[in-house]
Amino acid sequence: MAKSFDVVVIGGGPGGYIAAIRAAQLGFSTACIDEWKNDKGGPALGGTCTNVGCIPSKALLQSSEHYEHAGHAFADHGIEIKGLGLNLGQMLSRKDTVVKQNNDGIQYLFKKNKVTFFHGRGAFVRGDANGYEIKVAGAAEETITGKHIVLATGSNARELPGAPFDEKLILSNTGALAIGEVPERLGVIGAGVIGLEMGSVWRRLGAKVTVLEALPAFLGAVDEQIAKEAHKLMTKQGLAIQLGVKIGAITAGKNDVTVEYADSTGAAQKAVFDKLIVSIGRLPNTNGLQSDQVGLKLDERGFIAVDAECRTNLPNVWAIGDVVRGPMLAHKAEEEGVAVAERIAGQHGHVNFNTIPWVIYTSPEIAWVGKTEQQLKAEGVAYKAGTFPFLANGRARALGDTSGMVKFLADAKSDEILGVHIVGPMASELISEAVVAMEFRASSEDIARICHAHPSLSEATKEAALAVDKRSLNF
């Protein structure tokens, strides 16, 4: 007899594994099916995020930043290093260890929460409001049934037409995280989040990095003032960023790749790279779900169509994370996973899309939540802005990293915080205060009146809030 569960989650990335844990916490018998394999063919829970996304990229960003500091920043602190060397093999193997710790951590959490794990590919066989049959194809094949199905099958990197990923010369995020030798000339197509993070890693390790971006504006979704500052700082670090290009033919040779493109003036250009990272966005992954077996509806862009509460067109079938609309972020997927499990339990799960933070883990980091200044202008919202530079922050001076600023945008009348934008050290951590404030609909004055520890980077947040009312104390 087929094993039956209250909830079957397909996909064990941050959306799926968190949905499974929350469902189990709520008392449902829960299964999670995930097909990701490690290099030995065993399970590797955590999806894109853990295996070839958030976690390995942050491991390499940290290692490469240490290397750059050791080579360039330590001398200023009076630390002299002679014979500094790079052991890339060790750096990559540390990254793999960090990934494995996270894979194993999720398996442990499944055991702890009594989530039954199936290693293999899950596909619909048949079903209706009374339940769904799901075939698991893997080491051992079996069919299980679930009253509720949560689809969390994630996304895949988008290829450029005519330039398929071979992960040797033309690399997706997977190859970009595992280059065995620092390339002399690295090309990156797409100056988005992956392009800038991975471009930074390999530049710090010694590659000459050229980033080719189609749009005329740098980081168009980021507040313009912050994006301008980030562009200036990254260019100064040595990332050669070309905006407004039109990519033409890409030809992979034996050991290099040639990219033909028109630059922003329309002039024809040709560049030869030892490796090429293509990071031009990601596509929803519904491969292998056999969605037509049950009539699951996709939207015109291939995402699983869902309502505001992650319900699909099929009764008791839900979808979350990268495979549905909204930002492709691990924490967005997790929040949707929790909310769906709670909705299945008849509770009122909720995800506030207005307070989902974004972080780009370059150096300096870029982080934001809420509206940008250009959005407020376009929407005709009357606002006040306040900024504070890290240059005037004592902790930033002590750290030796005074680049960037904190910027507050608040409603002109009510003073409610509408957006907070940071480019600077530890922006990823600082943004949480702004998220909490916005979630509680705080005013900039609320932040300005809160006691912040001294010396700390968070004082820049308080000062930017004070600046909304033109009363910064330290600038």
Query: Which segments of 147-192 does DSSP mark as H helices, in order?
Result: 173-176
Select the span of 140-148, 355-363, 413-421, 456-464 touching ligand NAI (CB under 6 A): 355-363
Residue 231 Cβ vs ligand NAI, minimum distance, rounded to whole Å: 12
In the block, residue with structure tokens 């600038």:
475
Q: Does residue 19 touch ligand NAI according to CB under 6 A?
A: no
Binding positions for ligand FAD, 193-212, rule CB under 6 A: 194
> What distance in Å separates the CA atoms of residue 430 and residue 324, rounded to the nearest whole number?
28
Of 331, 296, 302, 329, give the one whose Cα is nearest residue 314. Answer: 296
Residue 205 Cβ vs ligand NAI, minimum distance, rounded to whole Å: 18
Residue 207 Cβ vs ligand NAI, minimum distance, rounded to whole Å: 18
* Of 72, 348, 452, 454, catalytic: 454
User: Quick one: what does residue 360 bind among ligand NAI, ligand FAD, none, with the CB cut-off 5 to 8 Å set by partner type?
Assistant: ligand NAI
User: Quick one: what does residue 331 bind among ligand NAI, ligand FAD, none, with the CB cut-off 5 to 8 Å set by partner type?
Assistant: ligand FAD
Q: Does residue 369 touch ligand NAI according to CB under 6 A?
A: no
Binding positions for ligand NAI, 167-206, rule CB under 6 A: 189-195, 197
| Pairing mode, strands 185-189 and 208-212 | parallel
Q: Does residue 13 touch ligand FAD according to CB under 6 A?
A: yes
Q: Are 122 and 134 in contact (CB under 8 A)?
A: yes
- Indicate which single residue of 210, 279, 458, 461 sits in contact with ligand NAI (rule: CB under 6 A): 279
In the block, residue with structure tokens 């003073």:
415
Binding positions for ligand NAI, 298-337, rule CB under 6 A: 327-329
- Indicate which single residue of 89, 216, 238, 281 sits in contact with ligand NAI (rule: CB under 6 A): 281
| Pairing mode, strands 142-151 and 3-10 | parallel
- DSSP secondary structure string for all residues of 339-352: HHHHHHTTS-----
Q: Does residue 60 touch ligand NAI according to CB under 6 A?
A: no
| 348 is annotated as an active-site residue | no
3-class SS of residue 161: coil
Binding positions for ligand FAD, 396-425, rule CB under 6 A: none
User: Which contacts qualify for 156-163: CB closer than 8 Å, 24 or more apart?
Assistant: 156/282, 156/283, 156/285, 157/278, 157/279, 157/282, 157/283, 158/278, 158/280, 158/281, 158/282, 158/283, 159/278, 160/189, 160/247, 160/250, 160/278, 160/280, 162/249, 162/250, 163/250, 163/252, 163/276, 163/278
Mention every residue, 6+ apart, whose C-beta is less than 8 A from residue 28: 5, 6, 7, 148, 341, 344, 345
Q: Does residue 273 touch ligand NAI according to CB under 6 A?
A: no
> What distance in Å separates the CA atoms of residue 340 and residue 455, rounded to the nearest whole number?
41
- Indicate which single residue of 30, 57, 103, 472 sits in contact with ligand FAD (rule: CB under 6 A): 57
> What distance in Å separates the CA atoms of residue 406 and residue 254, rounded to the nearest whole number?
47
Report the residue number, 315 or 327, with the smaller CB distance to ligand NAI.
327
- Indicate which single residue of 328, 409, 438, 467 sits in contact with ligand FAD (rule: CB under 6 A): 328
Q: Does residue 173 touch ligand FAD according to CB under 6 A?
A: yes
> What distance in Å separates the CA atoms of residue 371 and residue 410, rounded to the nearest whole number?
10
Q: Does residue 359 touch ligand NAI according to CB under 6 A?
A: yes
Residues facing 383 on adjacent strands: 411
Report the residue number, 50 or 443, with the smaller CB distance to ligand NAI.
50
- Indicate which single residue of 207, 329, 427, 468 sits in contact with ligand FAD (rule: CB under 6 A): 329
Residue 193 Cβ vs ligand NAI, minimum distance, rounded to whole Å: 4
Residue 57 Cβ vs ligand FAD, minimum distance, rounded to whole Å: 4
| 310-338 burial: b if 16+ Cβ within 10 Å, else e | bbbebebbbbbbbbbebebbbbbbbbbbb
Return residues touching ligand NAI (CB under 6 A): 160, 189-195, 197, 212-215, 247, 279-282, 327-329, 359-361
**Catalytic site positions:** 454
Return residues touching ligand FAD (CB under 6 A): 10-16, 33-36, 47-49, 53-54, 57, 121-122, 152-155, 173, 194, 285, 288-289, 321-323, 328-331, 333, 361
